[in-house]
């Protein structure tokens, strides 16, 4: 039995109807193991019943959790492309991704001529106050695109749509068509490849019931739609395929014409007595209702173009924990489904009966990770499941377990290179003088025992230097080739350069201490790196720093730019898709990211919002005097007497296309020449 806990008590005791002296509960008990990530790896189920037993146990566990445990939180699955100067750019920036060559879904895509933008209906009638002419000058005017007052705008999203905007050399973009969503679902993100637009949409149906105590219980039915549109003629996009998968989207990636979709399905309970059966008869009723449910209730279905549905995968083909028993509780199904975008009905889906938190994908494998917490929530372990890519889909290869948890920026803390897995974790302690420690592990796959085995780690007995000073948490990690870059922070910003060229002997090669910190790191080839973060104690302006790391033992800060005053912020601090980078020629780059700028009011000693815009920078690594220069800003929103707060903050995107730049702010487009952003045309 698993003796560690994953956000849940150690065991749940379900008292089932039987003969005994206890009138309320009976005397026979079944001990169900708490749901947890498998530390022993996976195996295929011996038969369908093994998988279904896990799922039935999960449903019974969930139905009675409040009575036995109080509130519990069941673990669910959650979410490096450096700029290589030797790789030719297509002439325009593309979605900024974690790994080069592995595309990621986003709300904005571009094909070199047309912008595709996911927006919501309520964006179209929000009155946006601003300063300027509206059409020219880069600031939304007060009456631009407004047909109803902002106060009447519901906070929730209305039907979503995709705007298809044709751009031209005069920095103008015109909406040539629009793809409207159904009333049943909302567009979330998309891919664009070879005249095909693939859009993810989410459908939610909620069912509310009240138990005998008057406590509301919400159950929801989630459906993922994958919609393929032919965009060979962008003015007339055509729906060619509607794929429905029960459950919801966790993550996705695209490599060439293969689409990898990771989805989660948690079956709804029938009308069980909830949250606490009061008698043995009610316990028996719960058990009988769950036992009567078929595989179609416990596993997700898939259907194409609203035709007959079928199981996405069969229960007998699911992976289950290698140490699975009849008392195991695994109430969740993870499916990794691989579609051929040229023939979507030719798909392969791998079923995993378990819970996972984070996801990473290389060109060779998908890694699912989970954290297992000990009783005091200080000690923890991270479990890594390696799913190897093959011609059809994915298959289980190995499992690893390392001390610690993946903290902030988890998606950047794991990496694969040259058949080695590198991962950086953290561990908390009760030591007030140093409450957190960090460690790096290098793992190699042993196919004989299906284990990811540690061959190197930091710190160790020979290399005892810590990653981070006392009480410093990790704020950014980036792996690139045989290096790792780590930023820790409490009062200053140490940048650590870790040499991974010898897998079994990693070492801290150098470090640099500077004010502030970075939350995002981006290598520019082998010798340079930029970071985006915040100045000072983390509440000051948004900071861009450029570093020379050609000498590993002596990293140098070449230049910095600080945007705004206290409480200025940027989506780029936590969302890498908000950053656009384009290599224009050898060692020269153009960089853009949105910033919401606050300015200090010296008389009152606090800051007020001033404007929101896209900031543009030129990077010239051969210019020793001015390697980093500010080109200007496309302002989309600006404070004025009638409004002192921005409408759009968390969804800014941009595209750099040669000498043109397009800033997507909410559903609107602002376009400008790179050298004259103050003359931006918009909103469009």
* Domain boundaries of the chain, sorted by first residue: 1-76+266-356
Cα separation, 200 vs 187, in Å, equals 6
pLDDT at 103: 98
pLDDT at 301: 95
Alpha helices in 231-377 (DSSP H): 280-291, 295-298
Q: Which residue has the higher pLDDT, 469 or 135?
A: 469
Nearest to 139 by CA among 155, 126, 152, 128: 128
Q: What are the distances in angstroms from CA 329 to CA 280, 399, 494, 510?
A: 22, 19, 43, 46
Q: Which pair of structure tokens corresponds to residue 245? A: 């998968």
* Confidence band, pLDDT 50/70/90 cuts, at residue 2: very low
Q: Which residue has the higher pLDDT, 337 or 124?
A: 337
- 516 within 8 A of 491, measured Cβ to Cβ: no
- 669 within 8 A of 165, measured Cβ to Cβ: yes
Q: What is the pLDDT of residues 623-666, one digit of tens each?
A: 999 999 999 999 999 888 877 777 776 689 999 999 999 999 99
Q: Which residue has the higher pLDDT, 456 or 135?
A: 456
Q: What is the pLDDT of residues 189-201, one digit of tens each?
A: 999 998 999 999 9
* Confidence band, pLDDT 50/70/90 cuts, at residue 225: very high
Cα separation, 50 vs 519, in Å, equals 44
Q: What is the pLDDT of residues 573-616, one digit of tens each?
A: 999 999 999 999 889 999 999 999 988 877 667 778 889 999 99
pLDDT at 668 over 80: yes
Q: Which residue has the higher pLDDT, 385 or 271?
A: 385
Q: Which pair of structure tokens corresponds to residue 314? A: 């069969």
Q: What is the pLDDT of residues 102-151, one digit of tens each?
A: 999 999 999 999 999 999 855 443 333 333 333 334 444 333 333 333 33
Taking the whole predicted model, whether its pTM rises above 0.75 is answered as yes
pLDDT at 642: 79
Those residues whose C-beta lies under 8 Å from the C-beta of residue 247, and which sit 6 or more positions away, are 222, 223, 224, 263, 264, 265, 266, 300, 333, 335
What percent of the chain has pLDDT above 70?
78
pLDDT at 217: 46
Q: What is the pLDDT of residues 46-87, one digit of tens each?
A: 999 888 888 888 877 776 544 334 333 333 333 356 655 444
Q: What is the pLDDT of residues 386-400, one digit of tens each?
A: 999 999 999 999 999
Cα separation, 196 vs 388, in Å, equals 27
Q: Which residue has the higher pLDDT, 220 or 285?
A: 285
pLDDT at 663: 97
Q: Which pair of structure tokens corresponds to residue 365? A: 């494998």
């Amino acid at each position: 039995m698993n003796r560690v806990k994953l956000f849940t008590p150690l065991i749940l005791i379900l008292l089932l109807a039987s003969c005994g002296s206890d009138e309320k509960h009976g005397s026979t008990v079944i001990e169900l193991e708490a749901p947890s990530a498998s530390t022993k790896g996976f195996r295929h189920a011996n038969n369908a019943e093994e998988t279904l037993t896990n799922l039935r146990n999960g449903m019974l566990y969930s139905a009675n959790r409040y009575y036995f445990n109080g509130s519990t939180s069941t673990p669910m699955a959650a979410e490096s492309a450096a700029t290589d100067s030797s790789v030719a750019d297509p002439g325009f920036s593309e979605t900024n991704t974690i790994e080069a060559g592995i595309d990621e879904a986003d709300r904005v895509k571009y094909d070199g001529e047309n912008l595709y933008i996911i927006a919501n209906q309520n964006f179209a009638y929000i009155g946006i106050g601003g300063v300027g002419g509206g059409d020219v000058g880069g600031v939304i005017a007060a009456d631009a695109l407004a047909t109803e007052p902002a106060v009447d705008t519901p906070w929730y999203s209305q039907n979503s749509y995709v705007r298809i905007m044709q751009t031209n050399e005069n920095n103008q973009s015109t909406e040539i068509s629009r793809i409207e969503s159904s009333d049943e679902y909302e567009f979330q993100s998309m891919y664009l490849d070879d005249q095909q637009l693939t859009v993810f949409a989410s459908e939610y149906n909620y069912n509310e019931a009240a138990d005998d105590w008057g406590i509301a219980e919400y159950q929801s039915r989630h459906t993922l739609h994958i919609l393929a549109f032919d965009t060979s003629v962008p003015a007339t996009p055509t729906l060619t395929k509607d794929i429905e998968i029960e459950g919801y989207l966790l993550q996705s990636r695209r490599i060439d014409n293969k689409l990898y979709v990771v989805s989660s399905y948690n079956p709804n309970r029938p009308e069980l007595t909830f949250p606490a059966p009061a008698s043995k008869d009610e316990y028996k009723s719960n058990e009988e209702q769950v036992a009567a449910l078929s595989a179609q209730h416990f596993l997700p279905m898939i259907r194409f173009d609203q035709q007959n549905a079928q199981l996405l995968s069969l229960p007998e083909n699911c992976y289950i924990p290698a140490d699975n028993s009849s008392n195991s509780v695994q109430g969740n199904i993870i499916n990794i489904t691989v579609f051929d975008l040229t023939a979507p009905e030719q798909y392969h889906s791998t079923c995993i009966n378990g819970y996972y938190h984070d996801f990473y994908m290389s060109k060779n494998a998908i890694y699912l990770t989970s954290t297992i917490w000990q009783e005091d929530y200080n000690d923890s372990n991270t479990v890594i499941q390696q799913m190897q890519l093959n011609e059809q889909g994915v298959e289980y290869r190995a499992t690893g377990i390392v001390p610690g948890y993946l903290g902030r920026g988890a998606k950047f803390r794991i990496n694969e290179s040259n058949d080695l897995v590198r991962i950086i974790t953290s561990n908390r302690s009760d030591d007030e003088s140093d409450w957190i420690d960090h460690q790096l592990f290098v793992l190699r796959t042993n196919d004989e025992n299906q284990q990811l085995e540690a061959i190197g780690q930091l710190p160790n007995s020979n290399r005892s230097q810590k990653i981070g000073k006392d009480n410093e948490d990790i704020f950014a990690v980036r792996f690139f080739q045989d290096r790792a870059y780590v930023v820790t922070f409490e009062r200053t910003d140490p940048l650590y350069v870790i040499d991974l060229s010898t897998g079994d002997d990693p070492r801290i090669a150098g470090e640099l201490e500077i004010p502030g910190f970075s939350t995002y790191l981006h290598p520019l080839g082998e010798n340079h790196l930029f970071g985006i973060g915040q100045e000072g104690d983390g509440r000051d302006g948004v900071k861009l720093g450029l570093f020379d790391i050609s000498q590993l033992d002596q990293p140098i800060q070449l230049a910095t730019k600080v945007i705004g005053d206290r409480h200025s912020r940027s989506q780029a601090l936590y969302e890498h898709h908000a950053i656009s980078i384009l290599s224009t020629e050898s060692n020269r780059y153009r960089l853009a990211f949105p910033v919401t700028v606050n300015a200090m009011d010296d008389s009152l000693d606090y800051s007020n919002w001033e404007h929101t815009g896209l900031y543009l920078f030129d990077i010239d690594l051969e210019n020793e005097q001015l390697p980093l220069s500010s080109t200007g800003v496309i302002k989309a929103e600006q404070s004025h007497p009638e409004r002192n707060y921005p409408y759009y903050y968390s969804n800014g995107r941009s595209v750099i296309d040669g000498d043109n730049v397009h800033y997507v702010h909410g559903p609107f487009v602002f376009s400008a020449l790179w050298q004259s952003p103050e003359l931006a045309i918009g909103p469009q």
